[in-house]
Amino acid sequence: GAVVSQHPSRVICKSGTSVKIECRSLDFQATTMFWYRQFPKKSLMLMATSNEGSKATYEQGVEKDKFLINHASLTLSTLTVTSAHPEDSSFYICSARDFAGDSNEQFFGPGTRLTVL
């Protein structure tokens, strides 16, 4: 099956700093990638849909100036958490669809656990 990688897997940063998370589709081209956030014991919450070569579409309540998304190529999308604060500590997961495939399955990256001190 298709593989999606995320980097880093875990990051600890000081309050006020920015953190960049990378999401890569390793063996397929992903015109669309999705960024999710998950708090402990809660379900996945879609933050934004990232489209290659265009601006991301953010869900209601997600600050686009705080969570910067760049999808510069068909295999890479990045999420930058700017001026991170402790309340941004969460599990961030990306996923991608292989539009050339024969299913609508979304393939998930392994996730990035962000801890803001």
Contact in structure between 19 and 39 (CB atoms under 8 Å): no
**Residue owning tokens 């070569």:** 53
Contact in structure between 116 and 10 (CB atoms under 8 Å): no
DSSP single-letter state for residue 89: -
Q: x/- site string to another protein, residues 21 to 60, per CB under 8 A?
A: -------------x-------xxx-x--x-----------
108 binds another protein (CB under 8 A): yes
Q: x/- site string to another protein, residues 58 to 97, per CB under 8 A?
A: ---------------------------------x-x---x
In whole angstroms, how close is the CB of 4 to another protein at the nearest point? 9
Neighbour-count burial of 116, counting CB atoms closer than 10 A to its CB (0-12 exposed, 13-18 middle, 19+ buried)? buried
Contact in structure between 30 and 44 (CB atoms under 8 Å): no
107 binds another protein (CB under 8 A): yes
Binding site for another protein (CB under 8 A): 1, 34, 42-44, 46, 49, 91, 93, 97, 103-111, 113
